Structures are given as structure tokens and as C-alpha cells.
Amino acid sequence: MIVQGNIVDIQNRKIFKGEIDIKNGKISSIREVNHTVENYILPGFVDAHIHIESSMLVPSEFAKIAVLHGTVATVSDPHEIANVLGVKGVEFMIENGKKVPLKFNFGAPSCVPATPFESAGAIINSDDIKLMMENPDINYLAEMMNYPGVLFDDEEVLKKIQHAKNNNKPIDGHAPGLRGDDITKYIAAGISTDHECFTYDEALEKLQKGMKVIIREGSAAKNFEALIDLLPEHYENMLFCSDDKHPDDLLLGHINQLCERAVAKGIDVFKVLQVACVNPVRHYKLDVGLLKKNDAADFIIVEDLEKFKVLETYINGELVAKNGESFVQSVDFEVLNNFNTDFKKISDFEFKSAAKKIRVIEALDGELVTNEIEVDSFIENGNLVSNTEKDVLKMTVVNRYQNTKPAIAFIKNFGIKEGAIASSVGHDSHNIIAVGVSDEMICKAVNLIIKNKGGVSAVIESEEKIVSLPVAGIMSDKTALEIGKAYAELDTMAKEMGSKLLAPYMSLSFMALLVIPSLKLSDKGLFNGDSFQFTSLEIN
């Protein structure tokens, strides 16, 4: 098979009219040939860090949409399903991903559970990591979120890192805001990347100290604008990722969108494409072609080098997408789950108190970090309740693995004026998380999740809506088009209820993410991510 176009040679920084000869899935030759084809041929895009589970799609369905946007490979951390189902969940992701052409490169989740301060559905210890690191289907040690464990030489953490080193596999980082001597020690442990930088100065320091910085632009955390000005000088050590991509956003675009935005800022297109296509392959030693002779024929054809409209996507020489049509087929799979909690009562969400002030989580739109603020309490019949006028709403995290009393906190900036929203996508342990205007509405939204053994829900007095997520309580068994449409309708409903957040459900899912400062809620209580310990809701 021969493909013609303007060939983009990223390494040699040149574009020439030519043709590619493909035999047995590999590029047998690349020749300069004069022709009239105006399109551009370039290596496929690689998402350098993503949790496929956050798309609410199993890998095979994710692939069906990603190839439309020119994505040929991902560096995927199956951390989310691992927190629900352990190693069995990781194996599910690998096997499902193998059934489609897209090149999923899965890591071994390093932090399951993410912290000892929450209840997860499984544990992955250093012995498990040793076995996973020896598995050729595991490409790297996934994000080491337990940075305090690294800094304080936790024996179990260091064993996991050593197992990765013994197998010559990269170690991903996760160290939001870590600076100075702390980040120096973290890097010295062998951790080579970070996708959690949210300021220019933080990312610059990490780059200067030898880390690779991954610019993240997902559905909730958006750091592109804060970090993109570093790319022109540091492009050799930067990558692009989405981290978490909700289904409706995935339908619109992927890494191609970041290339478009970067080029629109006047950044050299070769530098942008090195970040988007080349650096992930080299850093993670991926079996992904880079448009060279004898490489796997993994490449895309785009209309131009400004909008990056993808016309065709090839993986191992196979045409997997053309003109907006995906040729990736749905596959059969076993639905795994882990949901063992009973329906809740309204009284379960009461918090008896006489405190005059309370600690409140301040959510920041487009950020995973939160602030801790103090607010006057609002009490009815001795029970702390939501204050919709002040936009201080009751929040809960409900253990989905066993019957325990729900944890209660309060949150600002969700903006809901009626009803409640809930989700069993609650990073990292995926317990049920909900926010609402009253205990009754919160209970209703939570029980809808329990009834369906997973999902995202919205309820008001006159209506209730849910997108069921039966696969581990975090993924759908439906196609991207089905789940994307249903999720978009739910997102619209949440916004009609008053939420001003860009992605209310994605933001909600991170309000239980304890490893990101400052104030978060686990099923065990209110947690201060700066001091890494529990704190009290009441301020006396």
C-alpha cells in the first residue's frame, strides 16, 4: 500500500512531498515524490497520561473515538479500576485494549489504595508490583501519588520504585506544588515525570531539575494556559496529556486540540509535534512508529498544520478511521463490579452540631486543588444544613464497599439551587460522592447510584436522571456516542439546577481526591491535604 502527501519529518524539521510504502504493517520506504496531494502525513498523537476509566468507556470503546482525532496510542494508568477491583481490574483493561488496534500502554498502579485515609475495594502491595513489573504488558510504574511516602522513605513505597528500576521501566510522578528540597529528593528517587504542575514557576523548577513536565488539559484540570509558554524553550522535555477526559469532551477532540491551540499561539509546529507525537514514544519506549523506515506504520493524515483536522488514521498499516468514520469495532467483554452497600436513609446524612463556624471546601473551577475557608454554620433542628443563598452546600462521601456511616462536609462554588447530584466516580477509591441542597435530595441521588450499582445521577423534586456505569461502577457497557449523549444531558441538567462549574461531575469526582491539597472529603472524614491528616468540620 502506498500513501502520498506532504510528509512531516519532525526530527529533521522539514516537510517534503513524498510517499510512504507500507508492507506487513511497517513502513518499507519513504520517498520524495512530486505529486499534487495537499494533505500532511505525520506521526500519530499520543496521550502521555490518561485514566481511560474517566472517559466512562472501556478501552475498546475509547479507542473507537480516539482514532477519529488522530490518537494512535496512550500511556494509560488503570489506577481507577485497580482501586475498585485490584490486579483483576488492571488485567481487564489490558485484555480489553488488546482487542482493538489502538496501542494502549498500561502502567502498574503504584498507590492502591491511594492513601490509608480512605476505603478502597482492593490493595496492590509491593509484591503485586514486582509481578506486574515483570509482565511485558506493563510498561511503567504509574503515578507515585504518595509523595510523602517518598520523602519520608516509606519502605513499601521504595520497594515499588525499586521493582520498576529493576525492570528498567519509567516511573511516573504526581507531586502538585512540590518545590525546593522536597522535589529534589522526589526526583532523586527515580521519578521522571509530573503532570500535576499548575503554575509556570513550579513546572520550570521541575524541568530545570531534570523532570519531564506533562502539560495537562482534561475535563476538570486545565493547565495548558499556565504552562504552554514553557514549550518553546523546553519542548524536548515536555509532553501533552488529558489525564481525565469525560465522554462528551472526547467526542469533540483529544491531543489534536492541544496542537491546534499551541500553533495558534505562534509556537513552532515542529516543537509542538515533538511534544505531541515523539516525546512520549521515546520516554516510555513505546512500540509506536515515528514515520521512519522499518517503523510500525502508525501515522495520520491531516488537512493542514493549523487546525489539524484528521482525515485518516493508520495503526500498524491498518486504516482505522477516515473522514469522521471509525472502523474500530465494539467487542464483547465481561462486566465486573464491586458494590456492597445498602440503601441509605435521610437521617444518615444528618450532622448534629451547635458549632458557630465550619470548615468548608472551596472548589476552584478547572482545578483539582481546593481552598479551605471558614464559614458561618447554618443549622436547622440541631442539624448542619446547606445554605443555598451563600452557595455552601452539604456534601457526602458514602463507602460503597461496605455499610458505614456517610462522611459529611460542606462545599462552596457548586452553585446548585435545587436537588442534588451524585457519582460513584469519586477519585481515588470511587466511593459515592454527592452534593445537594437538602439531606432528602442527597439521599435520593445516592440511592439512585446504589440501585444501579454505579453511575452519575441528578435529582430534583420532579425528576431523576442517571447514567448507569455497571463496569466497576465507573465505566459504561455502552458506546461512546450513547454514553456521551446521556452524560451531556446530565451535565446540562446539573447546570440547569444552578451549577456554574464548567464540568460539575468531573469537579465533583475530584472532591474526594485526598492527595491533592487543600481540603477534601473521604468516606472516613474531612481531610487536610497539606498536613496530610484528618481535620474537623466544626470550628469551636
**pLDDT per residue as tens digits for the range 289-303:** 999 999 999 999 999
Which backbone phi and psi does 143 adopt, to 5 degrees? -40, 125
Last residue of a domain, one of 292, 323, 354: 323
Cβ distance 141 to 109 under 8 Å?
no
Cβ distance 392 to 374 under 8 Å?
no
Co-location of 166 and 274 in the same domain? yes
Co-location of 205 and 140 in the same domain? yes
**Whether residue 220 has pLDDT greater than 80:** no
- 532 three-class SS: coil
Co-location of 136 and 285 in the same domain? yes
Output the CA angle 512-515-516, nearest 5 degrees: 80
Residues 6+ apart with CB under 8 A from 481: 251
CA distance 240 to 217: 8
Co-location of 157 and 297 in the same domain? yes
Co-location of 15 and 79 in the same domain? yes
Write down the pLDDT at residue 248: 87
Alpha helices in 177-246 (DSSP H): 180-188, 200-208, 224-227, 231-234
Distance of CA 91 to the CA centre of its chain: 19
**Whether residue 279 has pLDDT greater than 80:** yes
**Residue found by looking up cell 522526589 in the block:** 186
Q: Give the pLDDT confidence of 167-206 residue by residue, as tens digits.
A: 999 999 999 999 999 999 999 999 999 999 999 999 999 9
Co-location of 21 and 123 in the same domain? yes
Co-location of 385 and 437 in the same domain? yes
Write down the pLDDT at residue 506: 86
Residues 6+ apart with CB under 8 A from 521: 361, 395, 396, 397, 407, 409, 433, 511, 512, 527
Co-location of 66 and 108 in the same domain? yes
Co-location of 157 and 305 in the same domain? yes
A 10 A CB-CB count for 180 gives 8
Co-location of 291 and 405 in the same domain? no
In a domain, 282, yes or no: yes
User: Which of the four pLDDT bands, split at 50, 70 and 90, describes residue 250?
Assistant: very high
CA distance 170 to 288: 16
Mean pLDDT of the chain: 96
In a domain, 162, yes or no: yes
Co-location of 286 and 378 in the same domain? no
Cβ distance 140 to 284 under 8 Å?
yes
**CATH number for the domain harbouring residue 176:** 3.20.20.140
Nearest to 406, CA basis, from 418, 416, 420, 417: 420
CA distance 400 to 406: 10
Write down the pLDDT at residue 307: 98
In a domain, 249, yes or no: yes
In a domain, 341, yes or no: no
- pTM of the predicted model, to two decimals? 0.94
CA distance 347 to 434: 15
**Whether residue 355 has pLDDT greater than 90:** yes
Which backbone phi and psi does 100 adopt, to 5 degrees? -130, 165
- 335 three-class SS: coil
- Residue predicted with more confidence, 408 or 218: 408
CA distance 305 to 7: 11
User: Which of the four pLDDT bands, split at 50, 70 and 90, describes residue 350?
Assistant: very high
Q: Give the pLDDT confidence of 462-508 residue by residue, as tens digits.
A: 999 999 999 999 999 999 999 989 999 999 999 999 999 998 998 99
Alpha helices in 497-529 (DSSP H): 504-509
Cell of 10: 519532525
CA distance 227 to 216: 9
3-state secondary structure string, 40-73?
EEEECEEEEEECHHHHCCCHHHHHHHHHHHCEEE
Co-location of 423 and 488 in the same domain? yes
Among the residue ranges 15-19, 106-110, 244-248, 433-437, the one predicted with the least confidence is 244-248
The number of folded domains in the chain is: 2
Cell of 422: 451524585
User: Which of the four pLDDT bands, split at 50, 70 and 90, describes residue 246?
Assistant: confident
Cβ distance 340 to 195 under 8 Å?
no
User: Which of the four pLDDT bands, split at 50, 70 and 90, describes residue 267?
Assistant: very high
In a domain, 334, yes or no: no
Distance of CA 433 to the CA centre of its chain: 17
Residue type, 270: F
In a domain, 370, yes or no: yes
Q: Give the pLDDT confidence of 361-414 residue by residue, as tens digits.
A: 999 998 889 999 999 999 999 999 999 999 999 999 999 999 999 999 999 999
In a domain, 331, yes or no: no
Write down the pLDDT at residue 386: 98
Name 141's bridge partners.
108, 171
Question: Domain range holding 105?
Answer: 2-323
Name 527's bridge partners.
520, 534
In a domain, 360, yes or no: yes
Q: Give the pLDDT confidence of 71-108 residue by residue, as tens digits.
A: 999 999 999 999 999 999 999 999 999 999 999 999 99
Stretch 27-46: mean pLDDT: 97
CA distance 463 to 482: 21
CA distance 227 to 240: 11
Residue type, 246: H
Burial zone of 453 (CB within 10 Å; 0-12 exposed, 13-18 middle, 19+ buried): buried
Cβ distance 143 to 49 under 8 Å?
yes
